[in-house]
C-alpha cells in the first residue's frame, strides 16, 4: 500500500469511529504507550546460555527443530533488534536467569550476580528498552526430583532459595539502573505426575521458602515480584504445588503481584474474566499472554477471541496501569523471529480494538437494560476498520505496514538465521 492510501484509509476510519464517539487518534496514542514485555526465550527454545545444550525440563517443552535458533547472546540481541524494527512502539524484554552473560564459565544458579547481567543492562539502555526478569527453577539437576522450593530435602530448598534471593537482587539492580521497576516473575515447576498424597506438606514448604526469601525488603521502585500459578505440566499432570489457589492466596495475603498465564488453567477456563476480580485484591497483575492448544500452554499469540477479551478487560476495567502485559510462548517449529513479530503485533491489534470501543455508550445501554443494542454494537465493532488505524500507526513509526514484515523476515532468514547451523 502506498503512503497516501494508508493515510486516506486512516482518515476514513477515524471518521467512522468519530461517529460512534470514539477518538481514534487518542486510541493510537494510548496504544503507543503500551510497552509489551517480550520474552527472550522464543528466540532459542528456552535454552539459555548457562548450558545451551542441556535438556529443557520442568514440565515445559519446545517442540520442533526449525533452523536458526539463537545460539549465543550476540545472536539473541541481533534477533531482538530485527524484531524491534518490525513492530511499532517501545517495548521491554523479559530475561530469564539462565540468559546471563557468563563469559564462557559455568555459573550455577546459586552463584549468579548482577554483574552477569550488566551487559544486558547496558545493551538495553543503548536500545532504549527496559528489562524484566525471571528466576529459573527448571532445566537443572537440582530440580530432578520434580521439586525445588517445596522439596522435602532442606539442601535442595536452600539451593533454590539462594537462587531466588540472588534473582531478586539482580532484578532490583536492573530496576535501579534503568530507573524503572523490574518485574521479577517467580514460576516454579514443582509437582508430580501422579496422585500425590503430600499436597499440603509441599505447599507449606513452598510458603515457608517464599516467606523466608521475600522477607528481604526491597523497594518497589526497583523491584516488583510476582508469582505465577499453573494447573499442570508435562510430568506434573496430577499435582502442581503452585496452583491458582496457592498463589492467589499468597499474593493477596502478601499484597504482591500475581501473574496470570493464559495457558495455565483448565482448557475451557479463561483468564480474561479473572482480571476484574483479582484487580480488587492484588496491587497489580502481570500477564503471560500465550495461546493454549489442548495440553500445550505456549503456542504463538494470535488474534483469538480470548486475546481480545483480555484486552477488553484491561481497558474496560480502567486499570490499565495496574496490568503489565508480557508474552510467554515458544514455538520451535516455525521461524522464530516471525513468531515474535506475529505475537506482538496481534497483542497490539487486540489492545487497539479494545481502546477503540465506545465503552461509555455500551455501558449506557447496559444500565438501561437495552441489551439488544449492546449486543448489536459489539457485533458491529468487530468489523470496524481498526486495522487501517494499526497500519497508519505502523507507518508513522517507520515499521512495515500490513504483510510487509513477512518479506523482511524471509530476508533475515535467508541472510542470517538459515546460516546458523
CB-facing half-sphere around the CA of 4: CA atoms within 13 A: 0
Q: What's the rounded Cα separation, in Å, for the pair 270 and 338?
A: 26
Task: Classify burial at 139, counting beta carbons within 10 Å of its beta carbon; exposed 0-12, middle 13-18, buried 19 or more.
Answer: buried
Question: Could you give phi then psi for residue 44, rounded to 5 degrees?
Answer: -140, 25
Select from ligand RNT, Zn ion, none the partner in contact with residue 230, using the beta carbon and a kind-dependent cut-off of 5 to 8 Å.
Answer: ligand RNT
Q: What's the rounded Cα separation, in Å, for the pair 40 and 99?
A: 8
Select from ligand RNT, Zn ion, none the partner in contact with residue 60, using the beta carbon and a kind-dependent cut-off of 5 to 8 Å.
Answer: ligand RNT
Q: What's the rounded Cα separation, in Å, for the pair 421 and 419?
A: 6
- The separation between CA 240 and the C-alpha centre of its own chain, rounded to angstroms, equals 21
Distances (CA, A) of 280 to 23, 171, 203: 29, 26, 25
User: Which candidate in 45, 79, 261, 284 is catalytic?
Assistant: 261
User: Which candidate in 162, 208, 296, 408 is catalytic?
Assistant: 296
Catalytic: 120? no
Applying CB under 6 A, among 41, 99, 117, 393 the residue interacting with ligand RNT is: 41
Instruction: By CB under 6 A, tell whether 265 contacts ligand RNT.
Output: no
Instruction: By CB under 5 A, tell whether 288 contacts Zn ion.
Output: yes
Least distance in angstroms from the C-beta of 247 to ligand RNT: 12
Least distance in angstroms from the C-beta of 174 to ligand RNT: 17
Give the three cell numbers for residue 98.
Answer: 539462565
Binding mask 310-349 for ligand RNT (x = CB under 6 A): ------------------x---------------------
Least distance in angstroms from the C-beta of 230 to ligand RNT: 5
Catalytic: 306? no
Applying CB under 6 A, among 203, 288, 324, 345 the residue interacting with ligand RNT is: 288
Nearer to ligand RNT, 23 or 306 (CB): 306
Instruction: By CB under 5 A, tell whether 328 contacts Zn ion.
Output: yes
Nearer to Zn ion, 57 or 198 (CB): 57
Q: What's the rounded Cα separation, in Å, for the pair 64 and 11?
A: 43
Q: What's the rounded Cα separation, in Å, for the pair 11 and 172?
A: 45
Question: In this structure, what is the dihedral angle of CA atoms 393, 397, 399, 400, given to the nearest 10 degrees?
Answer: 30
Catalytic: 163? no
Catalogue the active-site residues: 187, 228, 230, 261, 264, 288, 296, 298, 328
Q: Could you list the residues that contact ligand RNT (CB under 6 A)?
A: 41, 46, 60, 134, 187, 228, 230, 261, 288, 297, 328
Amino acid at each position: 500500500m502506498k503512503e497516501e492510501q494508508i493515510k486516506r484509509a486512516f482518515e476514513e476510519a477515524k471518521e467512522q469511529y468519530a461517529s460512534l464517539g470514539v477518538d481514534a487518534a487518542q486510541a493510537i496514542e494510548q496504544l503507543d504507550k503500551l510497552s509489551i514485555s517480550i520474552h527472550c526465550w522464543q528466540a532459542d527454545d528456552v535454552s539459555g546460555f548457562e548450558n545451551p545444550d542441556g535438556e529443557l525440563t520442568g514440565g515445559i517443552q519446545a517442540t520442533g527443530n526449525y533452523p536458526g535458533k539463537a545460539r549465543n547472546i550476540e545472536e539473541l540481541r541481533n534477533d531482538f533488534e530485527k524484531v524491534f524494527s518490525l513492530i511499532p512502539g517501545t517495548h521491554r524484554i523479559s530475561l530469564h536467569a539462565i540468559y546471563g552473560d557468563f563469559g564462557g564459565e559455568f555459573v550455577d544458579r546459586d552463584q549468579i550476580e548482577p554483574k552477569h547481567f550488566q551487559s544486558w543492562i547496558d545493551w538495553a539502555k543503548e536500545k532504549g528498552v527496559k528489562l524484566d526478569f525471571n528466576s529459573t527453577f527448571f532445566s537443572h539437576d537440582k530440580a530432578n526430583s520434580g521439586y525445588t522450593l517445596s522439596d522435602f530435602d532442606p539442601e535442595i530448598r536452600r539451593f533454590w532459595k539462594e537462587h531466588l534471593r540472588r534473582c531478586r537482587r539482580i532484578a532490583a539492580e536492573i530496576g535501579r539502573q534503568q530507573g524503572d521497576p523490574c518485574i521479577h516473575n517467580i514460576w516454579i515447576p514443582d509437582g508430580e505426575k501422579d496422585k500425590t498424597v503430600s499436597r499440603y506438606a509441599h505447599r507449606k514448604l513452598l510458603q515457608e521458602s517464599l516467606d523466608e526469601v521475600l522477607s528481604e525488603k526491597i523497594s518497589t521502585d526497583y523491584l516488583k515480584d510476582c508469582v505465577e500459578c499453573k494447573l499442570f505440566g508435562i510430568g506434573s499432570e496430577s499435582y502442581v504445588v503452585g496452583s491458582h489457589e496457592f498463589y492467589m492466596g499468597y499474593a493477596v495475603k502478601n499484597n504482591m503481584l500475581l501473574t496470570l498465564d493464559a495457558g495455565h488453567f483448565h482448557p475451557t477456563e479463561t483468564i480474561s474474566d479473572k482480571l476484574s476480580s483479582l484487580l480488587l485484591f492484588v496491587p497489580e497483575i502481570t500477564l503471560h499472554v500465550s495461546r493454549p492448544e489442548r495440553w500445550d500452554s505456549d503456542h504463538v499469540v494470535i488474534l483469538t477471541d480470548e486475546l481480545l477479551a483480555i484486552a477488553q478487560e484491561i481497558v474496560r476495567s480502567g486499570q490499565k496501569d495496574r496490568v503489565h502485559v508480557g508474552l510467554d510462548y515458544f514455538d520451535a517449529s516455525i521461524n522464530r523471529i516471525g513468531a515474535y513479530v506475529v505475537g506482538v503485533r496481534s497483542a497490539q491489534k487486540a489492545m487497539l480494538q479494545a481502546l477503540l470501543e465506545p465503552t461509555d455508550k455500551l455501558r449506557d445501554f447496559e444500565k438501561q437494560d437495552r441489551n439488544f443494542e449492546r449486543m448489536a454494537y459489539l457485533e458491529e465493532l468487530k468489523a470496524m476498520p481498526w486495522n487501517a488505524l494499526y497500519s497508519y500507526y505502523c507507518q508513522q513509526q517507520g515499521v512495515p505496514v500490513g504483510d510487509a514484515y513477512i518479506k523482511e523476515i524471509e530476508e533475515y532468514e535467508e541472510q542470517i538465521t538459515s546460516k546458523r547451523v
